[in-house]
Amino acid sequence: MLKKEMQWNIGKQKIVFPMGRPLIMGIINITPDSFSDGGRYLNPQVAADRAFWMQDSGVDLIDLGAESTRPGAEPVSEKEEMTRLLPVLQRCRAKLTIPLSIDTYKSKVCQMAIDHGADIINDVSGGGWDPEILTVVARSPVGYILVHSRGMPKTMQKEAQYHDIVEEVFNELSVKLDRCLQAGIDKERIICDVGFGFAKDKTQNLILLRRLNRFHDLGRPLMIGVSRKSFLQAFAKRHGVDIEMMNIIAQTVAFWQGVEIWRVHDVVTAVAARELLEKIWKADCSL
């Protein structure tokens, strides 16, 4: 893993990604239909308590989402998304000391989240489903997670047609990164995510995982979100093992290719794996 140390500006904070230590982003879905934990955190206090527990467990960032964007998901209105999100955001912002990310692609939800203290906007559409979101992000100091996807959640798997999955995803992310810069978002505020599962089939996801090194040429830190994705669920089910084993294998593959952030559901397993990898990395670097 040969690459320079990267930095990410989010508001007044500057996150420096240490070599050999991925940061961990804990996921909380405030939805009834998310593929992993839909319905568990609809109660605002339960969701906020989960965030506080994640912080105490050692995560570096929290990501709140109030609309499922899994393949096949039905969209929800801006009003409904904000109704789910706001009470959790307010509770979290009052007590969390780590950066808080909001998973949304809607400009009005984005503005509301920023107004109530969000540090980061995690946009699975890469500015493609509501272009105004780039303007909203540009006039604020928040960090921005640029994710690759095609189509809308309900139909995106029909868009999983590629001649060269790595180069096409790279080129499409490059175009979206340029649009972000043209909209006025500073490059240092952006990180990139190849969008595992978003308009990609099982084989395409595996190829991307093997070739993550390619995406360092974007010149920005990288995040992956493979946690409990269907292409890993298939392997876990086939062999009768816990999905977290597959998550950690995939995240470790990403780690050795220099990926800076893991976005995860099971934070305890991720934190333990991170500690072991950090010790291995330090031992390796001392040789």
Q: Catalytic residues, which ones?
A: 229, 263
Tokens of 254: 């990403």
Q: What is the dihedral of CA 208, 155, 159, 183, to 10 degrees?
A: -80
Beta strands in the chain (DSSP E): 6-10, 13-17, 23-29, 61-65, 100-103, 120-123, 143-147, 190-193, 222-224, 261-264
Across-strand partners of 17? 6
Backbone torsion region of residue 240, taken as left when φ is above 0, otherwise alpha when ψ lies between -120 and 50, otherwise beta: left
**CB-CB neighbours of 145 under 10 Å:** 24
